[in-house]
Structures are given as structure tokens and as C-alpha cells.
Structure 1
Amino acid sequence: MATGTDANYAEGFGQVSRTVGTIFRYALLAATLFGIVLLGVLLVYVANDAVQPLTADPGWQLTFLVTLVLPTLGVGGYLYYRDARAFATGLAVVGLLVVSLMFGGGAALIFVDIVPPLVWFSFVIALALPAAVVVLVERLDRRLPFLARLGLTVAAIGGSLLVVPGLVQGLPVVPSDGAMLALTLGGPAAIVVGNYFARRNAARAGLIAGGAAFLATVIAPFVGPAVDLTPVPATVLAAAVVVPTGAYVGDVVVNRPADRVGLVLSGVIVGGALLGAGVVDLLGFAGPNSWVDWQFLTSPHSGTAEDAGFYPAIGGSILLMVVVAVLSFPLGVGSAVYLEEYAPDNRFTRLIDVNISNLAGVPSVVYGLLGLGLFVTYLGQPTGTALVGGATLGLLILPIVIISSREALRAVPDEMRQASYGMGATRWQTVKNVVLPRAFPGILTGTILALGRAIGETAPLIMIGAATVNYSLPTELSAKVTAMPLQVYAWASLFAGPDFYQKAVPAGVVVLVAVLLAMNSIAIVLRNKYQRES
């Protein structure tokens, strides 16, 4: 097919013009840039109201300019032009530290005020025991029929969840809160880190890395008071922040020598921020008069904008997302596996495919009405609880999880399935050992993006009667719950006024957008990693 600056005729395509194609490409680029710039201006405007950086003392601004901004620009610019991959590695370390701090803080909130460590410890044991039974059943795979294996697994899980938590919580002597969290959080983290380094290096390296990760969580309750942290949040932050960030840095040092220089940029950013904070504290320079501060993040709602806090809304959103993930992830992935790997291609399954695609585009308020009718009216559940809200949001993102999971399963080459069948594996063994491991990064990416949509929804929660204002954290699934977007909505409507518009609302929006960006960044990193490996 001939192409040129003049229009040419190609059979099946009609008139073909390179000029028209170029104009169309640049028009799309201009529209994209316009949207990005417009959104960036809006976010900067809101962030300026929430953080108010220009209200800081000139000495504060000069200190951070010297200790943080100029060194970061100098080292970052040098690395970017010298080795872009090392530059990306340095930024990745800082990004991992920031994102893990955000989610680690949320996890610490759960164990401090919502779920006692002893309750968590008892349920972990209750799930670990049937997990051992499942492993035993898998070893007897060839000797037990499918229904017998399924019955044993269900009986073991159900019986353990009904009996074991009560027995553990009733023991006269139990480990300390920090010890229970170190075992249940630090143990799995150490196993993951150890297995990763064992695969990349050797068994001895895996043992050293896993031991170091476990040691970091074990000593956290004793080190925490030195930085004004009680044992519970110190242990959680060690498992959620120190271990992942340290493992990534260790991997760069040991396995990626060409990227080690990028760690200099990470050190400059983190060290510059800490040095600047120490200097301004020593010299007494006042920072920005920001509304996003520790008081805002840890206080309940108030009738005045100066005292209004976001803490119950943050805790409610976290609890809602836990319920959403527990309900939507297994059901969505299971449905995708059945439709993609087991279901026959007939009129009924095609009808299901069309309906799932249509449900993904239904407005969220309709799901709120569905949740109200199904869970509240039909099942008789109380309105506005964490369970009802999480189930409603789970229905909202279920079609999205199914579609993204099916796309990930469909991306697995069919040759891998045929090779597994050729070696004598059953369909379930092929799905479990070949298809799901290959598709899991894509499934996880789609699920995280779906959760990012759910955490920002307001209409479904309003329809099921969730509280717009809550003065305390929910401590159980049957308790009334609010969420971050609902709290912002309340400040902008029920408490409408100049103070709330200029102080509390921008601060709430900044926190909500930061959480959404963190979730989306995780999904982007997983997607890029999966694309490089494939």
C-alpha cells in the first residue's frame, strides 16, 4: 500500500493520507495534554488550599531548599542523563517507602482501634490449621475422589473457624501484642523475602534475608518507644514498611550492581528530608500552616473546620475495602476461571458475557439501590453497616474484577496449557500450576484498580444509609460506618461554609487523592513488571 503526503487509494481502505494521520495523531496528543494540564492545575489549586506551602517561614523554605530540593535536583538530573535506569531505581525506593508508609499506617490503625491483636492471632491460627489439612489432602490427591477432598477442606475450614478462635482467646496466658503481630505479620513477610532471595541467589542468602526480615519485626516493639511508637504500630510498620523497602534495597545491592548508584538519589531525598526537619526544629522555623497534619488524620469530626478530623472516615474506608476485597476477589476470580477455562461456548455463556460487560457500565447509584433492596429490605440487615456497605461496593466492582481477570487468563499462551495436558496433568492441575501463576499479576492489577474505584464511591453508600458523619471507628462489621468520600460530601453540603470549603474539604480531597494515587501506582508497577517478565 503506497502512502505519501498526497492522498492515495488502497483497496479496502479508500483514500489513505499520511498528512491526515499525522494531524489526527497530534490532535489526540493535544487533547491528552490539555486534559492532563487541566487536571494538574485543579489538583495544585486544591493542594495549595490544603497544604498552604507559602505560609511557612522564609527560613523553613530556605532550609529545605538547601537540604532537599537543590541536592535532589542536582543528583537526580545527573543520574537521569547518565543512567536513566539507576534514576528510576532511586525513585522507586522512595516511592516504595512512601506508599508502604501510607498502607502500613492504615494497617496499624486497624490493629490499634478496630481488631485487637489477640483476635487477629486467633483467626490466623484458625486458618493455619485447615491450611495444613488442605496440604495433606493435596498430597492424597490421587487416592481421594474430588467430593471427598472438597468435603474435608470445607469441614476443616468451617470447624476451625467456629472452634479455634474461642479456644485461643480463652487461654489464661497469651503472648504480648507485639509478639503475636511479629509472628503473624513478620513470619509471612520473612518467608516471602527468604524465598525470593533463595530463588535469585542461593539457599543461604534466602536464610539470611528471611532471618533479617523476621528480626526486624521482632525487635520493633522494643525499638518503637525510641521513636514515640507503641509496640503494636511499631511491629506493623516494621513488617509493612521496613521489610519491603529493605528487601528491595538489598536486591538492588546484591543482584543489580548497575543500578546501585541510584540508591544515592534515595539517600539524598530521605536524608535531606530528615536533615531539613532536624534543622528547622532546632532553629525554631515554623512550617506551612497545613490543614493536612497529624491532628487532622487522627481526630474525629467536629463542628468547626479547625478541629475537624478524618480519622473515623479513614478507618471506615479501610474496613470497607477489607470487606470488598474478601467478597469480590475470590468470587470474581473464581467466576473468571470458570468462564474462561471450564464453561462451554454456547448461547448461555455468551449471554452471561454480554451481561457482565453491561453490568460493568451500570451507574454506581443503581448498585446502591440493589444493595438497599437485597441486603437491607430482603435479607433484613441494618442500614449503613460495614458489612452492607462492603457487600454493596463488592457488587459494584465484581464485573470489573471478572473482566480484568478473564483478560489476564486469556493472555496466558494456549501452548502452555497444551504442554501441561501433554505431560498428563488434569485441567484443574493445569489451571492451578500453570495458568493462575502466570495470570496472577494481571488479576492483581485489575483488582487493585477496581478497589481504587470502590474507595472513591459515594452514591452507593448514601443509598444504603451509611453515616455521613461518624464520631468513632467501627469495631465490628455490624457497626455503622462512614468513608472518606462521604465525609468530604458532608463537609461540602451539611456543613457548608467558607471555613469548611477552604480548610476541611481541600484537606480531605488531598488525602483521598493520595490514597487513590498510591493504589494506582501499585497497579502500574505490577503491570510494568509483568510486561517486562513476559
Structure 2
Amino acid sequence: MATTDESTGAWFGADGQVSQLRGLLFKAGCLGATLLTLFLVFVFLVYVAVDAIEPGTADPAWWATVVATVVVPAVALSIYYYRFDPRAGEVAYTALGLPVAATLLAGGVGIVFRHIITPHEWLALVVAAIVAYGALELHDRAREGGAFERTAVAAVVLVLTIVGIPGLVPSLRGMILSLPVLPIAALSLLGTFVAPIGLAVGWYVRRARESERAGLIAGGATVAAATLGVVAGPVAGVSWTTWLILTTVVGVPVGLYVERVLSGGEGVSGLALPVAFAAGAVVCAVVVETAGFTGPNVWLDWEFLTSAHNRTPREAGIYPALVGSVMMIIVVALAAFPVGVGAAIYLEEYAPKDGLIGSVVELIEINIANLAGVPSVVYGLLGLALFVKAGGLRPGIVIVGGLTVSLLILPIVIVSAQEAIRAVPDSQRQAAYGIGATRWQTVRTVVLPRAMPGILTGTILALGRAIGETAPLLMVGVAAAVRISPRSFFGLFSAMPRQLYSWAQLAKPDFYHGVLAAGVLALLVVLLMMNGTAILLRNKYQRRD
């Protein structure tokens, strides 16, 4: 018979040992809840994937070929890594997932250079930013002013170099764009996009290998490989813009990771998994093409990703909505990240904690936490009233949708940034103060670098929520479907969740089974990649601690 120790409240059995029954039941309940959640998510993903891929339409011989050439070698290697070499398994899964993530990122960069900013505009922006940075450095070296003076000088320099005063003073960026002669588009991107990446690669390799020669070779090889695409790309049937982006956004991170694994000497055998996967895919394609096996009637294909909406299901695509989502997320990130992080820095590092002002600050923090749980449709109404009715902006444009969704995730960014800043040990602040650093210097050089991984993790998760929101977009008049991608942040647009919502309302079964499932799968891939990036940042931050 169990008895209770009145002093400790612990439960004891007849033999005087602490009873573990409740702990075991709690552990089993948590495990069951986790397994149930994973099972339901898996069922949902399978259901969507079956509708998007339609595996039953493929020949059994096609599936047998895929299993024999791709699945079996990959599973065999995975089992080997799990049983005998876990470190190689980590390398294998990273090496397999990194190209996929980098390719998705390259697609986003390609959308930016195709629809948002031209190579010449990018050239003018980079040159103006370099001049602004140089002017600020000269000011800091010539005069040691206070924080207010530095902020004012930075604002003036940024206005004169990048923005300008409409009707009065043209910006340096505008003056560059107005020049009668500019470098060709390829040279503009080589000098202002590829060259900085090459310098970063050279610096990283030089620091990792402690060799000036290795750094020069790595940086030069990056620039040379991208430059080769300007000539060889069109010959190979690939545009020079695509070649430059693939070389820098996909080739560079994959190459650096492989170089780090080879130089470290641990888990090198894990690189065999992506090689086996790629070789199996090539062999599978050759066998299927030679034998004439029929594959599945896939809805989520390249044509779907690069086509506009159409009334015919087989010709419908998601590209304009995909471009709109990318442009909206850029607006959301530019609006929510600096404001949210700035608010978190003030609340944690500068706001008084005592007295009347401290009580007001505490009330503000409570309200910020409560705002994170407000329904998204309410933020849609707020955006409609604030940006359309009061601000006079046109409903349904990118800037309105982005600013409205940024209001939605702003409390999440603030709270996550506060937690990351609060996690920085106070002893590090005191050490900085002890050597004579000011509060701003302490925040800039000690607190923010330490808290930035946590801040980025929370921000990426918030952006993942933002890209899947539909209700705020409905409230601000975002179009159900557009056939032309937006060319500016003031153009009409549609986003992926809004497009999916409109497809779900169509009466044709092929739309709400095939096309809708393909769109949902594309959106889920983007969300999973963003969440995966946040998890990697969090794990890296924890290992650093």
C-alpha cells in the first residue's frame, strides 16, 4: 500500500522505494501523443502526394526500375550508416539535402533578378551601398560622435546614395542608372554578384585551411566557373543568368561543404549517398527511356511550376503566385525583421525595469505576447484600414499584402528575439562594461552576435507562417488568380495560399484533386525547407554552447 511523505510529497511503495508509475505513464502518454501527431502528418502528406503524383498511372515495371536503381541502394547505404557509421550518416543526409535546399534558394534568386531588380539596377544599388559604407567609415575615423550623431549621419548618407529626395536631390543610385553607357548585364552581375561571393569563398577557405594560396584558388575558381557560363551557357542551352545563379547559389555551398568534409576526414564515406542517388537516377532514366516504360501522370512537374493559371487543369500552373509569394516575403522580411529586432533590443537592453515607466513596459510586453494569438483575419482588417483606407494604397498590391502579413508575424519576431537576447549570459555584458564598452557597443559586439542564431530561428519560423497565410490576403483584396507575374512591389499579385484557395472553389474534379494537390505539395516543400533551415540554425547554436 502506497503512503505519502508529508514533508516531501513523494510517493513510496511498501518497500520504501519511490514509485515510478506516474512518471512512466506520463512518458508513455507523451510518446503516444508524438507518434499520433507524426502519423497524422504522414497520412496527410501521403494523401496529398498520391493526388499530386498519381502513382497508380505508372507501369509496374517503371516502379520496379525506380526501386532497383534508386531506392534499394539509398536504403542499403542508410542502414549501413545507421548501424556502423552514424557520423557518415549525418554527412550523407546533409550532402543529399543541401543541393535541394540550395536549388530552391537559387529559384528564389532567379525570381528576384527576373521580376524584381534588373542587373543594372543591382549594379547601381551595390555601388551606392559601397559608397555609403565608405562614407560612414570615413566619418567614424575622422570624428568620434555620439550615437545620435552617427545615426543622423547614416540616415543622411543612405538617403543621398540610395533613396534621394524626390524632385530635389537625385540619389547616387539614380545617377548611375541615368548614365548613357553601362556595362552589359552579364558583366554587371559578374562584378557585383559573383565577385563578392568569390571573395567570400576565398576568405572562408583561406581561414579554414590557413593558406593564402588555397583561398586565392577557391575564389578564382568560383569567378572563373561563373564567367565560363556567360560563353558556354547559351551553347549548352542554359541562359547565362541561370548559369551564374546555379554556380554561386548551388555550386558554392555544395563545394564548400564537400571541401570541409574531405579536409576534416570524418564521415567522408557519407558522400557516397548523394553520388549513389544521382547515379541511380541517371541509370533509371536510361533504362526507362530505352525500355519505354510509362511513368506516373504527375501534376507537380516543371511545366506546373513555370506556367500561369489556366481554366484547363492540365495547363494550369502556379508560377505567378509563386513570384507573388517571393515578393511578399521580401516585403515581410524587410518590414518585420528590423522593427521586431529593434523593439526586442529596446525592451530587453534599454527599457527601464522599475518605476512607472517599468510598469508601462511590462504592460507593453504583455500586450505583445497577447497579440501573437490574435486571429489572422483581424490583422487583415487592420491592414485594410491602415494601408488601404488611411494610407491610400491600392488594394491587392504586393506592398499592401506584405505589410499586412508583417503585422501578423511582428509579435512573434519580437517575442522570439526577446527570448534569444535574454538567453545571453549577463556575465558577458558585465565583462564588456568592465573593459570600458558603452551600452551600444556591448549590444552590437556582444549581445547581438550571441543572440543572432536564435533571432534568425524565430524569424524564419515566423516567415514560414507568413507564407502560408490566406485570411489577411483575402481582406486586403489580393487577386484569386493572375496570369502575369508582378513586375514591382506596387503591382497586383496573387500568392500561393490565395491561389490554392481559389482552385479549391472550382467545380472540376481535376482542379481540387490534381492541381490543388500539386500546389499544396509545392507550398509544403517551401515550408519544410524554411523550417528545416530554422532547425539547423538552432542545432548549430546549441552545439556552439
TM-score normalized with structure 2 length = 0.93
Structure 2 counterpart of 1:299: 307
Displacement after TM superposition at 1:362 (Å) = 0.7
Q: What is the distance in 1 between the residues matched to 2:441 and 2:221?
A: 35
**Are 1:262 and 2:270 counterparts?**
yes
- Name the CA shift for 1:500/1:353 in 2 (closer, same or farther; >3 Å): same
Instruction: Report SS of the residue matched to 1:285.
Output: coil
Q: 1:206 to 1:26 in 2, by over 3 A?
A: same
Q: 1:508 aligns with which of 503, 519, 543?
A: 519
Q: Which residue of 2 aligns with 1:275?
A: 283
Alignment match, 1:64? 66
The 5 A counterparts of 1:63-212 are 63-140=65-142, 143-161=144-162, 162=164, 163-204=171-212, 205-212=214-221
State the 1:133 CA deviation. Answer: 1.8
Q: Which secondary structure does the structure 2 equivalent of 1:261 belong to?
A: helix
- 2:317 corresponds to which of 297, 305, 309: 309
Instruction: After superposing the two structures, state which structure 1 stretch, 120-129 or 524-533, moved more.
Output: 120-129
Query: Per-residue displacement from partner, 1:224-261 (whole Å, max 9, x unpaired)?
Result: 3355321112212222111111111111111x201211
Aligned to 2:336: 328
Cα gap change, 1:13 to 1:377, in 2 (>3 Å): farther
Q: Is the 8 A contact 2:73 2:276 kept in 1?
A: yes
Amino acid at match of 1:314: L
SS at match of 1:61: helix
AA of the residue aligned to 1:196? Y
Q: Quote how far apart the aligned CAs of 1:23 are.
A: 0.7
Indicate whether 1:499 and 2:510 are aligned: yes
User: What's the offset of the Cα at 1:75?
Assistant: 1.8
- Can you give the 5+ residue segments of structure 1 that lack an aligned partner in the other structure? none
Displacement of 1:283? 4.2
Which amino acid is 2:218 matched to?
A
Letter in 2 for 1:321: I
Distance in structure 1 (CA, Å) of the matches to 2:138 and 2:288: 60
Supply the RMSD in Å over aligned alpha carbons: 1.9
Greater alpha carbon shift after TM alignment, 111-120 vs 293-302: 111-120
Within the alignment, does 1:520 sit opposite 2:522 as a pair? no
Deviations 1:344-373, CA, capped at 9 Å, x for gaps = 111011011101101111111111011000
The letter of the residue matching 2:67 is: L
* TM-fit CA distance, 1:408: 1.0
Aligned to 1:353: 365
CA contact (8 A) 1:371 1:391 kept: yes
SS in 1 for 2:313: coil
TM-superposed deviation, 1:209: 2.7
Letter in 2 for 1:511: A
Aligned twin of 1:462: 474
Could you report, residue by residue, the CA deviation over 1:115-161 in whole angstroms, capped at 9, with x for unpaired residues? 322222222222221122223333346x2233332222111111111
Q: Deviations over 1:279-319 (max 9, x none)?
A: 43344433221000111111110112111110000000000
Q: Is the 8 A contact 1:445 1:526 kept in 2?
A: yes
Tell me the equivalent position of 1:236.
245
* Partner of residue 394, structure 1: 406
Give % identity. 45
Aligned to 2:391: 379
1:147, 1:510 → 2: CA distance? 49
**CA distance in structure 2 between the partners assigned to 1:363 and 1:437 by the alignment:** 33
In structure 2, C-alpha distance between the alignment counterparts of 1:287 and 1:176, rounded to whole Å? 43
Q: How far is the alpha carbon of 1:6 from its aligned partner?
A: 4.6
2:220 aligned with 1:214: no
User: Match for 2:416 among 381, 389, 404?
Assistant: 404
Contact 2:115 2:488 in 1 (8 A): no
Equivalent residue, structure 1, for 2:15: none
Aligned residues of 2:329 and 2:467 also touching (Cα < 8 A): yes
SS of 1:258's partner is coil
Of 39, 42, 52 in structure 2, the residue corresponding to residue 40 of structure 1 is 42
With over 3 angstroms needed to count, the CA separation of the structure-2 counterparts of 1:378 and 1:55, relative to structure 1, is same
1:177–1:231 CA contact under 8 A, matched in 2: no
Between 1:437-446 and 1:8-17, the stretch displaced more is 8-17
Q: 1:414 aligns with which of 423, 426, 447?
A: 426
In 1, Cα distance between equivalents of 2:389 and 2:489: 18
Query: In the alignment, what sits opposite 2:436?
Result: 424
- 1:287 is matched with which residue: 287, 295, 303? 295
For structure 2, the 5+ residue unaligned runs are: 13-18, 165-170
Inter-partner Cα distance in structure 2 for 1:46 and 1:174? 49
Distance, in Å, in 2 between the alignment partners of 1:60 and 1:221 is 38
Q: SS of the counterpart of 2:5?
A: strand
Q: Which segment is superposed worse, 345-354 or 258-267?
A: 258-267
Map of 1:249 onto structure 2: 258
- Offset at residue 64 of structure 1 (A): 2.2
What are the Cα deviations for residues 496-524 of structure 1, in whole angstroms up to 9, with x where unaligned? 33121111110110000010001001111
Q: Judge conservation of contact 2:479–2:492 (CA < 8 Å) in 1.
A: yes
Closer/same/farther in 2, CA of residues 296 and 10 from structure 1, 3 Å limit? farther
> Aligned to 2:540, which of 508, 529, 532?
529
Letter in 2 for 1:9: D
Equivalent-residue separation in structure 2 for 1:174 and 1:106 (angstroms): 26
Of the candidates 2, 5, 8, which is equivalent to residue 9 of structure 1?
5
Code of the residue aligned with 1:22 in structure 2: it is L
**1:201 and 1:134, CA in 2 relative to 1: closer, same or farther beyond 3 A?**
same
Alpha-carbon separation, structure 1, partners of 2:432 and 2:403 = 37
Query: How far apart, in 1, do the equivalents of 2:96 and 2:430 lie?
Result: 43
Counterpart Cα distance in 2 of 1:275 and 1:176: 41
* TM-score relative to the length of structure 1: 0.94
**Segment drifting more, 57-66 vs 264-273:** 57-66
Please give the alpha-carbon distance, in whole angstroms, between the structure 1 residues aligned to 2:197 and 2:290. Answer: 37
Q: 2:16 — aligned with what?
A: none
Instruction: State the partner residue of 2:20.
Output: 18
C-alpha distance in 2 between matches for 1:95 and 1:50: 22
Distance 1:11 1:176 in 2: 82
